[in-house]
Each structure stands twice: as C-alpha cells, then as structure tokens.
Amino acid sequence: MADSVSPQHHVPADLPDRIRHYIDGAFVDSVDGATFDVLDPVTNDTYVQAAAGKKADIDRAVAAARKAFTEGPWPKMLPRERSRVLNRIADLVESRDARLAELESFDSGLPITQALGQARRAAENFRFFADLIVAQADDTYKVPGRQINYVNRKPIGVAGLITPWNTPFMLESWKLAPALATGNTVVLKPAEFTPLSASLWSGIFEEAGLPQGVFNLVNGLGEDAGDALVKHPDVPLISFTGESRTGQIIFGNAAPYLKGLSMELGGKSPAVVFADADLDAAIDATVFGVFSLNGERCTAGSRILVQREVYDEFVERYAAQAERVKVGYPHDPATEVGALVHPEHYDKVVSYIEIGKGEARLVAGGDHPADFPAGNFVRPTVFADVKPDARIFQEEIFGPVVAITPFDTDEEALELANGVKYGLAAYIWTNDLKRAHNFSQAVEAGMVWLNSNNVRDLRTPFGGVKASGLGHEGGYRSIDFYTDQQAVHITLGKVHNPTFGKSA
C-alpha cells in the first residue's frame, strides 16, 4: 500500500493479490491477459488489479452458462430443490456479513454501518426468492366442460446481469437471486470501480451447492465486457442498473436481437414537503434520503420542494442538520458520509457543486472537508432558492448534494415535481389524506413514499418511468422477467373446429 495511507484508514486483512474472472467453475485470467487498476477511494491509490474482460472472455462465459442451461441439472430441478440452494446462499451471506461489509466499505467508500445493512439485505433477497418460487402459483382459466387453459413458466436461458458500483453486492443479489431461482444460468458483469465484493460470490455459490457453470463472472469495462454481453446472440435477457445514458446505448445495442430488457436507470427524485407536514420527521427523512449511501443512490430525494409557509424554517433547520452530518473514514462506525467511490465520480460531483454556486444560494457544505486532505471526500452540500431551470435541479448529480425549492400551491408543487426527465421515486410529506393520495397518483414516479423514507417491501415492483427505466423487477415482476410464460390450452369436450375444404 502506498505511503499516502492515513494511520486512521483501515485496510482489510487478506485482500486478494489480484481479481480474476470466474468461468465454468474456475478462476481465470483474461484471454489477452489484460488488467485494470482498482482504486482505494480514501487514498485513490491502486490496491489491486482486476482482469479486464473483453469479447473473448464473454464468449467463454456465455458458452459455459449455455452449456449449464442446456445440459446441466439446474433448470430441471424442482423449485424446492433450487430453494434449498438459495437458502444456503442466504445463510452463508448472513454468516459472513461482517467480512462482506468490511470489503464493500473499503472498496466503495460506503460507511461501514450502511455496508453491513446492505450485506444483510443481500441475504434477504435470496431468502425471499427461495420462498417465492416454492409458493408460486400460476394462472389457470376454465371454461366448464369445454376447456382448461393454464400458464406454464419456463426459465429463458442465459441472463446477462450488469450491475452498478453503488451498494454493489446487494444490487448483484437483487438480480442474481430471481435469475437463479427461476432456473436460469447467469453471466454477471460487475461495475469496474467496485469488483472486490463480487469476487466473493463464487465461493459462496460453490459452498451452497450451485452446479458448475450456472454462475459466471467477467470483470471489465462497460464498453468492452458489458457491450459484448449485451450483443451476444446467446444471451436473451439483459438486466441493467446504471445511468440513463448507458441505458440508452444498451437499448440500441440489444434491439437487433430483440432481447428482454429490464433497466433501472437514473433519478432526480422530489421530496415534497407541505406546510401541514411533521417537519421534524420530514427533515430527518430528507437528510437521510439524500446523504445516506454517500448520496450515491438512484432513489435519493435530491430535490426538496417546500411550501412557502414553512420554507425559511425548513431551510434553516435542514442546513444546520446537514452541517452536523459526520464525514469520516468508511470503516468508522460513527461515519455517516464516507468517501465517494472514484476520483472520476468525485470530479463530477465537485463540478456540479461549482455550477450550483452560480445558480443558487449555498447554505451548507460545498467543499472538501479540511480533515481529509486526500481521497474523495465531500461535505454534505445544500443549495436553497434553486430555480427549476437550474442544472442542479434538472440533472442527476449522484452525490451528497441537494437542491431546495419553494412552492405556493399544490398545482405548482406537482409541476415542479414532474418538471424533469426522470421519474423513479417521489416522497410526499403531508397530513392531508386526500392530498396525499391525489398527489401520489398524479406525480410521474414509479414509486412513491408517503410520510416515509425509502423503506421497500420486497414484494412490490421496483422501477421508474420516463428516463428512469424500462420495466419492473421485485416480487412477481422479477419472476415474470426471468421466465417465459407459455399458455397451454386443453379441450375437454367435443372439438369445435370450423370445417374448411370438406365439400367436393
């Protein structure tokens, strides 16, 4: 490790000396031997090199996954048998949650307490789908005495999973669990910024008894490994989480193959605070909603719209609380905002802060904390009096930066809430029951929370509208995405066929 490491900075023991692909049950290097650097976000020093996958590596992984699908036992196993494997995976993740959190926090810069919560959520994702596939009921339609029609679900084949660098291990589990539960085989392409925790899946899956070739992992850049996975003719499904522009590229590249696509993309979600709201709860929730996970979350309530009657009080109290949010080393249990994931992303966030200083009133943060001379640290930043045409109002920053804007009427609040290209989440704070439901149904967002921060039941659909995504996953929507639904029709009585060509 380089000399720039602070004595306060925790480096996990037993880090790998390199990160390799995992294909057909074995760790392998790239076909061409290429690697890329993986950085420690606290120091921006390279701590390991990872295999840089390209088309040849994706071809090997897809071939292994395809063979496991067509010749292996996994797709043909009874749901209960697959469920037992998934529950063992959940047990193993739970038993290793402290180590997973330690590695995730080190690799991504997330605070250790929040990384631990994400590790536990990953275990719950597997346990949820283990239960769901056993309890799954498919549709049957009867025409008494004439016909029965039923739906037969079948795994589709090789699922290509492309995951982001924010909460990487949990978001990988979010895709892996339903893809595997439904009998598919997979090729995972994790984000290049954070490949460390993904490298642990292979050992967990082997120990749990997942058959060889069912899970394959190829590291690499999006434009190389990700692009090859999207364009591979033997990969009928792509599930992607990431920024909207990348989603547009994937959409175009997948179109010639008519692939199934599920894309959870960017967000610029509004939190709308009406004058009758519980301000204490609203302030706590909106501070957490944008600064947790270092602000690197697609559902962050990064635009706060506040009714004029309480606007000044809200801004004053919000700014004061944001100033008290603890920025610290990721491993410190007291840390609430750690280091941003990568210098490239840090530069983007800082550039938006500089833009914001020319567009609005800075009331908290706005700079690099003096206690951390190195690394990707940013003080929680709050802008007030933000106009709806400001870039910090319109564009996704994906960091600990929030824009606060006043409104007078319900109609104005709705216009502001819907006045961006994104539509992932919305948070509504009011004690007026009619307003709460009417506003929720009118807001352009795939998910709405009323008087609540982002607490999601795994049975509900997750997805956005407009530039925030295509399709939904979660609960039965995930089962729908990862299976073909085949309608089977059985005639019970006399066959009623129109007669063609009977007469001479």
Provide the annotated active-site residues: 264, 298
Q: Give the closest residue to 201 by CA, choosing from 177, 222, 184.
A: 177
DSSP character string of 74-140:
GGGS-HHHHHHHHHHHHHHHHHTHHHHHHHHHHHH---HHHHHHHHHHHHHHHHHHHHHHHH----E
Give dist(CA 184, CA 75) in Å, integer: 6
Closest CA to 109 of 9, 1, 199: 9
Torsion of CA 384, 389, 392, 398, to 10 degrees: 130
Closest of 435, 436, 458 to residue 448, by C-alpha: 436
At position 407, the amino acid (one-letter code) is F
**Residue 381, both tokens:** 């930043």
Q: How far apart are CA 233 and CA 485, in angstroms?
A: 21
The answer to whether the beta carbons of residues 257 and 268 sit under 8 Å apart is no
Side-chain-side CA neighbours of 480 within 13 Å: the count stands at 12
Rounded CA-CA distance 412/426 in Å is: 15
Task: Judge contact between 353 and 366, C-beta under 8 A.
Answer: yes
Per the CB < 8 A criterion, the answer to whether 260 and 481 are in contact is yes
CA pair distance 382, 401, nearest whole angstrom: 6
Phi, psi of 404 (to 5 degrees): -115, 130
Selection from 230, 226, 236, 234 nearest residue 259 by Cα: 236
Q: Which phi and psi angles does 78 have, rounded to 5°?
A: -65, 150
Alpha-carbon distance values, 454 to 56, 127, 269 (Å): 41, 21, 11
What are φ and ψ of residue 363, in 5° steps?
Answer: -120, -5
Rounded to whole angstroms, the Cα distance separating 64 from 236 reads: 15
What Cα–Cα distance (Å) separates residue 460 from each residue in 282, 447, 456, 473?
23, 9, 7, 8
Q: Which amino acid is at 150?
A: Y
For residue 141, the cross-strand partners are 149
User: In the Cβ-directed half-sphere of 312, how many Cα atoms lie within 13 Å?
Assistant: 1
**Beta strand 483-491 with 147-155: parallel, antiparallel or unpaired?**
antiparallel
